[in-house]
Amino acid sequence: PAPPALLPYVPRVPPAVLPGKLTATTFALERPCCIFDRHANASDTVWLVVAFANASAAFRNPPTRADVPPYERLPTTHSYMTLETAAGAYACSARSPAILRVGGDTTCGGQRGRDPCNGPLPSPGPYRVKFLVMGCHGPKAETRWSEPILLRRASSPSTIDPMPTRRGSDVVVIASILASLGAALAVAVLSTMGAEAWGSLCHRDSGTGAFAHRSYRTHHIPPALPQPLPPGCRCSPPGLGCFAPRPPGPCPAE
């Protein structure tokens, strides 16, 4: 068979600032548009070839779909093919998303090579990619290899925070505990001050409780001494005379 046509198109990561453009396991690609129209039919498919940068030169296009290297062989063959798509999705008239996500399928891993898989990339790379048009009789056209694509990588596992909101939650919990302790301390202080005030009021009370601890003799009024009777009067028994003496009067008749 004739070698596939080499197209001048070079795949690339979008230059614009995009969230998640490069992660530890995925990267974004610009979707090629109007690139394969003259080389592909409606029955053809377009594949994305992913290879380690130092192994891209050794990659050989598979002669048939049955020979497509699967995702699971990347650690040993250093390349695989994914994102099998109908050629019409890249036509000029197609309305498709402008971005392709490479490595975004986290469910890959158990297909045993039966279906193409777009699984997470196992290392930072760098990688090179190219698009390959496959027909019923093998490859028909291919793009150039991209520039090396290096994924993001943390400098140390200790720098990765598995719970980004934990710090804020700890602050909220600590503040709640301090507020509770402050409220309990305030209640204890107020209770102590209230008890002392109540005790001082009780000590100042002039009721029977306070009076019971005092000698009532200091408040006793001594009885008046008996006053002498007027001369010649014997009408009052001796020992009585608690009242003021009356003016002397005539004695009653016997």
41-83, pLDDT tens digit by residue? 889 999 999 999 999 999 999 999 999 999 998 999 999 999 9
Q: How far apart are CA 190 and CA 8, in angstroms?
A: 84
Q: How many domains does the chain have?
A: 1
Model confidence at 6, pLDDT cuts 50, 70, 90, reads very high
- Which residue has 């995702």 as its token pair? 71
Strands 45-52 and 79-86: antiparallel
Residue 46 counted as domain residue: yes
> Exposed, middle or buried, 8 (CB in 10 Å: 0-12/13-18/19+)?
exposed
pLDDT at 206 (0 to 100):
42
pLDDT for res 129: 98
Q: What is the mean predicted confidence (pLDDT) over 104-131?
A: 84
Give the whole-angstrom CA distance, residue 222 versus residue 217. 9
pLDDT class of 214 with cuts at 50, 70, 90:
very low
Q: What is the pLDDT of residues 127-177, one digit of tens each?
A: 999 999 999 889 999 999 999 999 987 554 444 444 444 444 454 445 555
Look at the pTM and tell me if it is higher than 0.85.
Answer: no
| Between residues 112 and 95, the one the model is more confident about | 95
In this predicted structure, what is the pLDDT of residue 198? Answer: 45
Question: Does the residue 63 lie in any domain?
Answer: yes
Domain of 39, CATH number, reads 2.60.40.10
Determine, yes or no, domain membership for 48. Answer: yes
Share of the chain above pLDDT 70, in %: 57
Sheet arrangement for strand 5-6:
5-6, 138-142, 127-135, 45-52, 79-86
Q: Is 247 within the bounds of a domain?
A: no
| 90 part of a folded domain | yes
Question: What is the rounded distance in angstroms from the CA atom of residue 233 to the CA atom of residue 246?
Answer: 12
Tell me the average pLDDT across 228-239.
50
Higher pLDDT, 89 or 249: 89
Higher pLDDT, 130 or 225: 130
Query: Which tops the pLDDT comparison, 1 or 223?
Result: 1
171 domain-assigned? no
Please, is 86 exposed, middle or buried when counting C-beta atoms within 10 Å of its C-beta (0-12, 13-18, 19+)?
middle
Q: Give the span between the Cα atoms of 152 and 59, in whole angstroms.
A: 25
Residue 215 lies in a domain: no
Angle at 42 between CA 113 and CA 48, to 5 degrees: 40
| Domain range enclosing 137 | 5-153
Please determine, for residue 247, whether its predicted confidence score (pLDDT) is greater than 80. Answer: no
Measured at the alpha carbon of residue 181, what is the angle toward residues 178 and 186, in degrees to the nearest 5?
125
pLDDT tens track for 77-107: 999 999 999 999 999 888 878 899 999 998 8
Q: Give pLDDT, residue 42.
A: 84
In a domain, 66, yes or no: yes
Res 182: pLDDT: 62
